[in-house]
């Protein structure tokens, strides 16, 4: 029969805040949290924390090679940040890109405060949008690489910001939007809604 390694827990211990729970590791200095015999979290003697699973959840990448919009749905209600990743994304036109968010009532296409701009060999320009978080495009042959983040502020209010390269241009943008409900979907499209994607892929990670 295997031995039992002693660990201890002290309830309402004397801590800096005047009370709490202290769990002391065994002689190895390693503390593990388990459920059904499976370790979910490990803290070693140097206070390094290791999670059995990533705290980031990745969706399935979608090819941005056709169509006028790309949707990601089923985003959990607890999500606080979504990162949209662009990998060699281009369209067959010059319309700027939009990142739009929505709830169970659908994607919302009004009420954004968003600005994006580019710098290219000393030249620069900016544009605004109320239809989504704007990402400057401007050239049909651009291949966009980078990320745009949408972060929850409180309630149903969100801010967005990101940078992408559109060689030889550098593109940056930011904005804000308050939804009518809990965010559960995100869409990548264009301002004119007719330019089609023709290269690359797009994915999201959320946390």
Does residue 111 come out as left (phi exceeding 0), alpha (psi in the -120 to 50 range) or beta? Answer: left
Output the CA torsion 76→107→83→136 (10° steps): 180
CATH of 57-206, one of 1.20.120, 1.10.3470, 1.10.20, 2.60.120: 2.60.120
Range 2-11 average pLDDT: 49
Instruction: Write down the pLDDT at residue 1.
Output: 45
Alpha-carbon distance of 104 to 14, in angstroms, equals 47
Domain extents for the chain?
Answer: 8-51, 57-206
pLDDT in tens, 114-157: 999 988 877 788 999 999 999 998 777 789 999 999 999 999 99
Which is nearest to 185 in space by CA: 102, 88, 110?
A: 102
pLDDT in tens, 175-201: 999 999 999 999 999 999 999 999 999
Alpha-carbon distance of 135 to 137, in angstroms, equals 6
Which of the pair, 30 or 58, is modelled with greater confidence? 58
- Residue 153's Cα: distance from chain center in Å? 14
Instruction: Write down the pLDDT at residue 4.
Output: 46
Instruction: Write down the pLDDT at residue 35.
Output: 78
pTM recorded for the entire structure: 0.77
Range 26-35 average pLDDT: 77
Which DSSP state fits 95?
P
């Amino acid at each position: 029969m295997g031995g039992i390694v002693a660990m201890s827990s002290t309830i309402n211990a004397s801590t800096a805040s005047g009370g709490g729970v202290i769990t002391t590791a065994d002689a190895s200095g390693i503390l593990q949290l388990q459920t059904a015999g499976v370790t979910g979290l490990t803290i070693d003697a140097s206070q390094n924390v290791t999670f059995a699973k990533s705290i980031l959840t990745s969706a399935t990448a979608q090819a941005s090679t056709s169509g006028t919009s790309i949707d990601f749905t089923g985003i959990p209600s607890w999500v606080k940040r979504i990162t949209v990743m662009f990998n060699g994304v281009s369209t067959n036109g010059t319309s700027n890109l939009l990142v739009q968010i929505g709830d169970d009532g659908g994607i919302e296409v009004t009420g954004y405060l968003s600005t994006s701009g580019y710098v290219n060999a000393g030249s620069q320009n900016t544009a605004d949008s109320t239809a989504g978080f704007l990402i400057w495009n401007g050239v049909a042959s651009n291949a966009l690489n980078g990320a745009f983040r949408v972060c929850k502020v409180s309630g149903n209010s969100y801010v967005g910001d990101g940078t992408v390269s559109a060689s030889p241009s550098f593109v940056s943008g930011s904005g804000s939007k308050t939804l009518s409900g809990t965010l559960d979907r995100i869409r990548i499209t264009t301002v004119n809604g007719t330019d089609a994607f023709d290269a690359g892929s797009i994915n999201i990670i959320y946390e």
